Amino acid sequence: MNRTLALILSFCVLLPLNLSARSKEGVSFPDSITVDGKTLVLNGLGTREATVFNVNVYVAGLYLEQKSSDAAAILSSTGTKRLVLKFVRDVERDDIVDAWSDGFEKNAKGQLGALKSKISKLNGWMADMAEGENLSFTYIPQKGTTVEINGKSKGTIDGDDFARALFSIWLGSSPPNSGLKSGLLGK
């Protein structure tokens, strides 16, 4: 009887842990996180696919103060937000920098001149990413966008303009692939 009760209690304790995360392509993300004293909820998950063969590169999770399926509202919001990229394959630094450059060019065309030094700073922090590693971008109003690789801060880039341009890479009119944007928007 005691053994049965222990098994039932163990199951009850573990059950909420399994329900408090979502996964895509075998990569799990918690349903909520705390950033700068605020609780952010997982808005959606999307997979970055590359090449004509749709090779999975990373799974991204977007965290917001309140869920939203409106990309324009998310980009214009000055609320705290975090985008987490969990790599499912090795990616070289140069490929990451090229992808950012392409994303900025397609989605922040009119701002590129004003953002040039900030984009250079971001690119300078990039490194080769191995399968299983994480890259995150956290925007906190009046503080800027903090870049972390595997939980270690590389630094913070100030400006709402930079945050909007950066997040537009995934949520703008020309995302890397449509399924990625759709997934991040919870669709």
Provide the CATH number for the domain around residue 34. Answer: 3.50.70.10
Position 81 in a domain: yes
Tokens for 164, please give them: 């909007």
The amino acid at 67: K
Residues of the chain where predicted confidence (pLDDT) is lower than 50: 1-19
What confidence score (pLDDT) does residue 53 get?
A: 74
What confidence score (pLDDT) does residue 19 get?
A: 46
Measured between alpha carbons, how far is 153 from 3 in angstroms, rounded to an integer?
A: 46
The pTM of the whole model exceeds 0.85: yes
Position 10 in a domain: no
Domain that residue 149 falls in: 22-184
What confidence score (pLDDT) does residue 161 get?
A: 95
Position 14 in a domain: no
What confidence score (pLDDT) does residue 9 get?
A: 40
Are 7 and 15 within 8 A, CB to CB? no
Q: How many CB atoms lie within 10 A of CB 147?
A: 20
Position 173 in a domain: yes
What confidence score (pLDDT) does residue 17 get?
A: 41
Cα separations (Å) of 64 from 75, 127, 185, 187? 11, 26, 11, 15
What confidence score (pLDDT) does residue 23 get?
A: 86
Count of domains forming the chain: 1
Are 45 and 59 within 8 A, CB to CB? yes
What confidence score (pLDDT) does residue 99 get?
A: 94
Measured between alpha carbons, how far is 118 from 89 in angstroms, rounded to an integer?
A: 27
What confidence score (pLDDT) does residue 71 get?
A: 97
